[in-house]
Homo-oligomer: A and B are copies of this chain.
Amino acid sequence: MSTVTPKILPATASAANPPLMIGDLLSAGVRTAGDNPIVYRDHSRHDYRRFEERVHQLAHLLTAQGVQAGDVVAVLDWDSHRYLECFFAVPMLGAVLHTVNIRLAPEQILYTMEHAEDAFVLVHEDFVGLLEPLAARLPRVRGYVLCQEAPREVETTLSMVGEYEALLAEQPKRFEFPTFEENAVATLFYTTGTTGNPKGVFFTHRQLVLHTLSEANLFQAKGVELLSRDKVYMPITPMFHVHAWGVPYTATLLGATQVYPGRYDAEMLVKLLVEEKVDFSHCVPTLLNMVLSTDAVSSKRVDLTGWKVLLGGSALTQSLARRAWTFGIDTRSAYGMSETCPVITIDILPRHVEEADVETQLPWRCKAGLPTPFVDLQVVDTNGQPLAHDGKSVGEVRVRAPWLTQAYYKEAERSEELWREGWLYTGDVGSLDEAGFLTISDRIKDVIKTGGEWLSSLELESFLSQHPAVAEVAVVGVADEKWGERPVAWVVPGNLNEPPAAEELAAFMQRFVDEGRLNRWGVPRDIRIVDAIPKTSVGKLDKKRIRREL
């Protein structure tokens, strides 16, 4: 990178140059869609104007409880209108929103809350029992607010200052929010790796605003059209997980109707999808699978035609995409990770694909997609040299963009493992094709090194998943004296009573060898039929546990 001296001119004394602030996203939504509803399950419903009022009331509530700029405020709640209010009120005060991953083990939750230095906590009554034994070890917490659906007494040892709705109702409806620098931290949450403690990832107002503007542009693009003032949005990625991919911010900017489903219960999700006429959701493939497998959907008793689902977190398989399409559901992929805010690629299809039939589109819609505007993405070899865009050269994906976490919170060493020479190393292995589309083939640590070659565990999973009797599959590498590593497959049959024979599956895999798409030694000799595959707290295949259990 060369160094140059461009022209920098001073501002006149009385000029203002407003920083990029999350609060402006809310103002914009209220301006264009003041009447649109924010829905919480079958429980509550109010419009954007009231949403804004409630954000102001929450700011009063928090301030009255001594929350100040720079403080960390933790939330343990299901996806709700309350959580959405915290997405805005907490950062708009200059405080930091810690979205606690409630699926972690209690000791891990304690670790994250201590490490984050949480000063105040909003907790749903479902998690009160979880927090009570931990509270003594969280001396920094000055108070707890109880979140619940219906007002009822909750006996607890936590130092509760009151119930969310009751406290909110007491507050004035207009708060004078401060303005401060756009590089102030707005959010903080923890991501679990294969080893060690969870790592804290943080984002600033500037980063979230830029990520939101980017998402809003992509989600409105012709042909994509996931969000607008006229669309209904419901997340099925938890709000504690990378702010539900930042989409609540984007939906608010664009004034979309927002439906929050609370705890993810398949029947409730389907009920809301149908009754609220949801147009757009995002989730990991496992959750889409769960929705499609409900009685109501699989029996076609309800109609989900026109529902658009953005998949991420792990690769969408062609078989799941095809299955969704048979229900009239439009799927599209995006790629990113906690550290990237998260969206850095999305399937904006090349025009000739967009105009083609479903079978042509399917493989494209399962790729990670095209790097989004302002994202610089490379696939590099082990020496950091960019590889050819030929759809074959496989290496690690590294990235630059204006919205990547600038460090792990209070983790100097691991921060420097994530960032090297100005690039964030994703730990994902993939390739770029001639059209610039990224395909993720594996996590670097899940790649199976066999006979001097790299075998992608994801690709093996994709091949196996195409067998009609296979519902779910995981492939991991295990140590092998002769080959270094060899692949082992775990398979959950679609019908547990009629599982396919391992030999039949191996024979099925031979087809891909014959087609030249798989090396001979890539066919797993060890295929095990199981009832279920362990998952991580965010619904991904838990390969660490699978390896342990082998």
Contacts and interface: CB of A to CB of B under 8 A. Distances in A.
**Which residue of A2, A15, A229, A374 has the most chain B CB atoms within 10 A of its CB atom?**
A15
Interface stretch (A79-87, A220-228, A466-474, A508-516): A220-228
Nearest to A225: B222
A14 B216 contact: no
Interface in A411-430: 412, 415-416, 418-424
A69 B5 contact: yes
Contacts of A15: 404, 406-407, 415, 419, 422, 424
Which residue, A72, A94, A231, has most C-beta atoms of chain B within 10 A?
A: A94
**What interface size band does chain A fall in?**
35 or more
A18 B94 contact: no
Nearest to A213: B213
Contacts of A424: 15-16
A221 B228 contact: yes
Interface in A50-94: 68-70, 72, 93-94
Nearest to A372: B28
Interface in A170-189: 176, 178-181, 183-185
B416 A13 contact: yes
B229 A178 contact: no
Contacts of A4: 68-70, 93-94, 178, 180
A420 B223 CA distance: 45
Contacts of A93: 4
Interface in A353-407: 370-374, 376, 400-402, 404, 406-407
A17 B407 CA distance: 11
A8 B213 CA distance: 22
A96 interface: yes
A179 to B, nearest CB: 5
A310 interface: no
A404 B11 CA distance: 10
A9 interface: yes
A253 B424 CA distance: 24
Pick from A17, A68, A221, A231 the residue with the most CB of B within 10 Å: A17
18 contacts: A4-B93, A4-B94, A6-B96, A7-B69, A7-B96, A7-B184, A10-B407, A11-B407, A12-B412, A15-B404, A16-B400, A17-B402, A19-B402, A28-B372, A31-B370, A32-B348, A221-B228, A222-B229
Given A7-B94, A229-B351, 17 more contacts: A4-B180, A6-B69, A6-B184, A8-B181, A12-B408, A12-B419, A13-B419, A14-B421, A15-B404, A15-B407, A17-B402, A18-B376, A18-B400, A31-B436, A32-B348, A217-B220, A223-B230
